């Protein structure tokens, strides 16, 4: 009996140890996610971003639908849970859209959102790919338009991400970026020139400069209070003709 009791205590201790390790893994994952997109996980990001940006996502999808011609190939870099592309597919199904995000869990949520918005096999259904903005898995000149909404300020290297966006654009193609931080070098944020940046200009209110620092949990909570009121800009770039 004593042996069984000892075994039971040892088993309980092992379970506690496993629980602690799992908790640490989850905490580490949450911290990594906060560095990547300011939220502990894709579900919390989806809920909060939908609340914060529902009107902005709707306006962005409408702008894309109005400006991008039918049949164009479009890439959404940092698509997150797929809000923009799901909306775009319902109003402009003739646009051939692909979304990429660095987090596989985000891509899963984007696919589920597309499933809810569109029947399988429906015209205009977007494709989703796990990929880093700074290393896109597409050939040169693969897309007519590249878009990104509120993702750039999370990129560790915004200049490399913009260079990749211009690389995968066909000559004469456009990159349209909505964000609270500029995707290109500024006086406060110098960076070496990269190939194919093209011509760009900003529209809208002024935005902050430089890459956003890694936020702490407290900083994230503070951000939720003020983020909805932060101004955003639209940046348009055109890739030079060959």
Considering the domain architecture, whether residues 160 and 231 belong to the same structural domain is answered as yes
Residue 69's CB is within 10 A of a number of other CB atoms, namely 10
Considering the domain architecture, whether residues 67 and 184 belong to the same structural domain is answered as yes
Residue 111's CB is within 10 A of a number of other CB atoms, namely 17
pLDDT for the residue 235 = 93
The mean pLDDT of the chain is: 74
Give the Cα separation of 129 and 107 in Å (integer): 7
> Tens digit of pLDDT for each residue in 196-232?
344 454 444 333 333 444 455 566 556 555 555 666 7
Range of the domain at 224: 41-238
Considering the domain architecture, whether residues 19 and 99 belong to the same structural domain is answered as no
> Tens digit of pLDDT for each residue in 102-111?
989 889 989 9
Considering the domain architecture, whether residues 22 and 89 belong to the same structural domain is answered as no
> Tens digit of pLDDT for each residue in 164-190?
999 999 999 999 999 877 887 555 544
Considering the domain architecture, whether residues 89 and 137 belong to the same structural domain is answered as yes
In CATH, what number is assigned to the domain containing residue 181? 3.40.50.150
Best-predicted range by mean pLDDT among 1-10, 50-59, 156-165, 187-196?
156-165
Considering the domain architecture, whether residues 92 and 200 belong to the same structural domain is answered as yes
Considering the domain architecture, whether residues 227 and 141 belong to the same structural domain is answered as yes
Give the Cα separation of 183 and 165 in Å (integer): 11
Tell me which residue of 235, 232, 229, 223 sits closest to 39, measured CA to CA: 223
**pTM: predicted TM-score of the whole model, two decimal places:** 0.71
Considering the domain architecture, whether residues 144 and 183 belong to the same structural domain is answered as yes
Q: HEC states along 105-152?
A: HHHHHHHHHHHHHCCCCCCCCCEEEECECCECCCCCCCEEEEEEECCH
Number of domains forming the structure of the chain? 2
pLDDT for the residue 191 = 41
């Amino acid at each position: 009996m004593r042996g069984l009791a000892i075994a039971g205590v040892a088993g309980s201790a092992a379970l506690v140890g496993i629980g602690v390790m799992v908790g640490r893994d989850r905490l580490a994952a949450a911290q990594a996610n906060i560095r990547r997109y300011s939220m502990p996980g894709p579900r919390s990001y989806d809920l909060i971003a939908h609340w914060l940006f529902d009107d902005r996502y709707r306006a962005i999808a409408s702008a894309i639908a109005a400006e991008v011609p039918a049949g164009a190939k479009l890439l959404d870099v940092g698509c997150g849970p797929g809000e923009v592309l799901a909306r775009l597919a319902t109003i402009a199904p003739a646009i051939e859209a692909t979304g990429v995000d660095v987090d596989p869990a985000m891509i899963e949520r984007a696919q589920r959102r597309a499933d809810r918005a569109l029947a399988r096999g429906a015209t205009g259904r977007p494709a989703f790919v796990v990929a880093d903005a700074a290393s896109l898995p597409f050939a040169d000149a693969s897309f007519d338009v590249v878009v990104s909404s509120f993702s750039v300020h999370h990129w560790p290297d915004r200049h490399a991400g913009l260079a990749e966006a211009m690389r995968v654009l066909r000559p004469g193609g456009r990159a349209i970026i909505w964000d609270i931080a500029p995707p290109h070098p500024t006086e406060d944020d110098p960076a070496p020139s990269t190939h194919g940046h093209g011509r760009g200009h900003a529209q809208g209110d002024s935005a902050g400069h430089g890459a956003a620092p890694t936020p702490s949990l407290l900083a994230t909570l503070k951000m939720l209070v003020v983020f909805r009121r932060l101004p955003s800009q639209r940046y348009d770039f055109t890739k030079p003709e060959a």
